Amino acid sequence: DADVTQTPRNRITKTGKRIMLECSQTKGHDRMYWYRQDPGLGLRLIYYSFDVKDINKGEISDGYSVSRQAQAKFSLSLESAIPNQTALYFCATSDAQGAFPDTQYFGPGTRLTVL
């Protein structure tokens, strides 16, 4: 499913480096999300965006920032990477159903390793 794409797919970096993960979608959805997945913890929400001018923190936003450059693009930055940010990162999009977000569609993930 190429509706949601993420780059890079894998990245190894060193502590203190700035890293940007990019997400693009062709589904035409307004809502976009960034999650991280850690073994035994499921997925946790980092940031989400309703549209280009609306950015919101999720449950674990410390150490991360985001930019919504266009409806179709939502990037995640680690300003100064640390080893406990080693994880699998997923971007997702969704449409809205009234006050309920609808099904979320996930990208293939970026595996980030911070040494």
Partner 1 sequence: AQSVSQHNHHVILSEAASLELGCNYSYGGTVNLFWYVQYPGQHLQLLLKYFSGDPLVKGIKGFEAEFIKSKFSFNLRKPSVQWSDTAEYFCAVTRFGNEKLTFGTGTRLTIIP
Collapsed DSSP state (helix, strand, coil) of residue 92: strand
Q: With respect to partner 1, which residue has the nearer C-beta, 84 or 103?
A: 103
Residue with tokens 């999300």, as numbered in its chain: 33
Strand partners for 35: 45, 90
What 3-state class would DSSP assign to 9? coil
Using alpha carbons, select from 93, 92, 88 the residue that is nearest to residue 109.
88
101 binds partner 1 (CB under 8 A): yes
Pairing of strands 42-51, 31-38: antiparallel
Pair of tokens at residue 91: 């971007």
Interface characters, 21-50, with partner 1 (x: CB under 8 A):
----------x-x------xxxxxx--x-x
Minimal distance in Å, beta carbon 64 to partner 1? 16
Asked if residue 107 binds partner 1 (CB under 8 A), the reply is: yes
Residue 10 touches partner 1, criterion: CB under 8 A = no
Q: Please, what is the minimum distance in Å from the beta carbon of residue 68 to partner 1?
A: 14
Q: Is 110 in the site for partner 1 (CB under 8 A)?
A: no
